[in-house]
Amino acid sequence: MVSLVSGDSRQSDYPHSRGVVAGVVDPEMPMLTLDDLGVIRSVSEDGGAVTVTITPTYSGCPAVEEMRADIRRALTAAGYEEVQVRTVFSPAWSTDWISDAGRRKLAEAGIAPPGPAPTGPVVLNLAPPAGPSAHVRCPHCGAPATEEISRFGPTACTALRRCPACREPFEHMKEM
């Protein structure tokens, strides 16, 4: 069995399975590929059989089943006869695994990319909301400070914010 991980340029008789999987897009944020999102843990090939391991972004992410189906379709269409897609939970996915290209594409689509994921103990924050915060830049006009409208956005991984400069609302991918 040959293990193909990110960056491996090994050739085979089949189209490069790692490349095929990497190009599958996220069902909820189609501007990102699964590679951009950082959810592909490994792709291994054995003749015509491919085993793909992915990790969910959130425990209850409803897109995981669609990701699995899309990976199976893409690999089958590329000529692979046996495809197995497994999901592993550990180590837990972090927004730090989103690629630089992925962050750029998020911003271009009007979604503020996440900052560095928090580390260490969970902080109990009792301070009242303090207005615009400089940790999220407006993806529309580039203003450096924006304010939070809601901690939970239309998908589990985003929060809603608004820019005091251009008045536009936007989504921010939460640090996780």
Partner 1 sequence: MNASHVHTENAYRSLSETTELDDPRWAFGTGIVEEEGAELSSPVPSGVDATDLAAYCLMLGDDALVLQHRLSEWVANAPELEEEVALANIALDLLGQARVLLGRAGHLLGSDEDDLAYLRTENEFRNVRLVEPSDELDFAHCIARLLLFSTWRLALLQRLQQSADPVLAAVAAKGVKEVAYHRDYAVRWTLRLGDGTAHSHERMQAGLVAVWPYYDELFRSTEIECRVGVDPAGLRAEVDDVLDQVLAAATLERPTIPGAFTVGGRAGREGLHTEKLGLVLAELQSIARQHPGATW
Interface residue list for partner 1 (CB under 8 A): 15, 20-21, 23-25, 27-28, 30, 33, 53, 56, 58-62, 65-66, 68-70, 72-79, 85-93, 122, 124-126, 128-129, 149-154, 156, 160, 174, 176
Alpha-helix runs per DSSP H in 24-134: 34-37, 64-77, 100-108
* Least gap, CB of 139 to partner 1 (angstroms): 20
* Least gap, CB of 97 to partner 1 (angstroms): 13
User: Whose Cβ is closer to partner 1: residue 46's or residue 144's?
Assistant: 46
Asked whether 117 and 175 are in contact (CB, 8 A), the reply is yes
Written as one letter, the residue type at 126 is L
C-alpha 174/C-alpha 93 separation (Å) is: 13
For residue 165, give the nearest of 133, 140, 143, 135 by alpha carbon. Answer: 143
* Least gap, CB of 6 to partner 1 (angstroms): 16
User: Whose Cβ is closer to partner 1: residue 51's or residue 145's?
Assistant: 51
